[in-house]
Amino acid sequence: MNIDFDLLLDQAKSASEKAYAPYSGYKVGAALLCSDGTVFTGCNVENASYSLTICAERNAVFQAVAAGQRDFLALAIYVDGEVLFPPCGACRQVLAEFNPNLHILYANRLGSILSDLDTLLPQAFTLSEI
């Protein structure tokens, strides 16, 4: 399947507009492409108890899983700002559960970087060895 990263990024940008980010000020959106072409989006939802915050990436993954999807091809992440953030460690680990080679585009107002999860999280934790 050809991955249209421009379309995926547009969907992530739209998702970022729905973010709830009163504490950090960073509105983040994510768009997750499944192998059947379905796209699930998510946004960050912050909480006064910071550890209860959910990142846009995990929000999209959990929505996809709840809909019965497990086979992911690519993820686009957009931060509405001038700082470029790759996925956090927790999001990387959740993504690795489903596809350790996932293509990841992360972007902001100024540019983007295309990478893959194996580069961002080498030697990810797994229980498949047990």
Active site residues: 57
Kindly list the distances between the CA atom of residue 97 and the CA atoms of 55, 72, 101, 107, 112, in Å, as whole numbers in the listed order.
16, 10, 10, 23, 24
**C-alpha–C-alpha distance, residues 34 and 108, integer Å:** 23
Contact 19/56 with Cβ under 8 angstroms?
yes
